Amino acid sequence: MAGLNKVTVEDIDVKGKKVLVRVDFNVPMKDGVITNDNRIQAALPTINKLVENGAKVVLCSHLGKPKNGPEEKFSLKAAADRLAELVSAKVTFANDDTVVGDNAKAAVAAMNDGEIVVLQNTRFRGAEETKNGEEFAKELADLVDDEVFVMDAFGSAHRAHASTAGVTKFVKETAVGYLMQKEIKYLGNAVEVPERPFVAILGGAKVADKLNVISNLLEKCDTLIIGGGMAYTFIKAQGGNIGKSLVDDEKLDYCKEMLAKAESLGKKILLPVDTTVAAEFPNPIDAEIAVENVPAGEIPADKMGLDIGTETQAIFAEAVKSAKTVVWNGPMGVFENPTLAKGTIAVAKALAETDATTIIGGGDSAAAVMQLGFADKMSHISTGGGASLEYLEGKVLPGVAVIADKA
């Protein structure tokens, strides 16, 4: 899948045409205010390119998970307002609960070349969006006279929704935007043609979420580092005592298989040798907490592991030093708590100090790297948690597959 040969925004003539762009404006909000606008910023290169080339740009995105149709707190108005501050073009927000309604139609009809209309949250159409409803897909295409669709929402590319995949059936031209290109380049090359040594780091809570990723990466990488909550299932599979730590008992045999697979392929799996333990999970999550450091397979029965220990931090950092490509998905512990963020900080610091190509696979690891101030030291931070995981699994993403290939 590396270097996917898709038509890009560079390849199409958009002057005077209406262009529907699927962006990822699924930004974190608190009390109606955007707390992090990274995803809007990430969409700017594609939006600006289309504006400069004289397109009439219509943007669509989802935000959050509205359960019962339209909900004010999931309106895209705040994202449209923020976009208006970031671009020089005129931005109009079309506030229709049906997404494609009278406001949207009027706003698009009134557009001049180089202007932008932002549609309301695509998820306001519920199952019509998420189940790839043909009628909604056609309404979106009709809004831009079935002319051009640009896919630039990598974070939603693993979903075959009306606004990510279905719409492509009804338009004359399709292309990927700059953000999609960048994601495909970094993640695709890392997995298919990495510069070696290639080190993959997996963390986070559940083994189940990363079953296929572990198996696929073992075939591609030289060393696989496993930290975070998922490490305890591996440690238990090796006969260790893990106390009250998070464990997925149904996956013990799978962990044994993966350890055997690594051995048969001549690959290294690095697991924690020590762990930071506490009597219980912090509540609230950032509360002060008393901890101690114990060997990873000797966690007392009344304690739980919540971060990798100091010796493990040094071993993991050392493994990263000699790497030429590093992919990291999932924190090493409860990074939202200052006492339990040390393992994640140690790994982030090791990545920041290496000359390797460093790719952060979205989700919590991206949040951790940004929160800890290491974002500008990474080669690439993926905007898609689930999408980047599926990409690392070797899956074809529906939102990528539907875009036209270059002739």
Active-site residue list: 39, 206, 363, 386
Q: How many CB atoms lie within 10 A of CB 381?
A: 23
Q: What is the DSSP string of 8-25?
A: BGGG---TT-EEEEE---
Pairing type for strands 173-176 and 116-119 reads unpaired
* Torsion 230-234-237-238 (CA) sign: negative
Compute φ and ψ for 326, nearest 5 degrees.
-130, 130
Strand partners, 224: 200, 269
Question: CB-based burial of residue 3 (10 Å sphere; 0-12 exposed, 13-18 middle, 19+ buried)?
Answer: exposed
Question: 291, 369, 284: which is closest to 331 by C-alpha?
Answer: 369
**C-alpha–C-alpha distance, residues 38 and 42, integer Å:** 6
What is the amino acid identity at position 226? I
Distance of CA 159 to the CA centre of its chain: 13
Distance of CA 100 to the CA centre of its chain: 27
197 cis-preceded (ω within 30 degrees of 0)? yes
**C-alpha–C-alpha distance, residues 133 and 166, integer Å:** 7
Q: Are 214 and 229 in contact (CB under 8 A)?
A: no
Question: 152, 129, 212, 114: which is closest to 23 by C-alpha?
Answer: 152
Start-to-end CA distance of the chain, whole Å, equals 17
Rounded to the nearest 10 degrees, the angle between the axes of helix 342-353 and helix 363-371 is 80
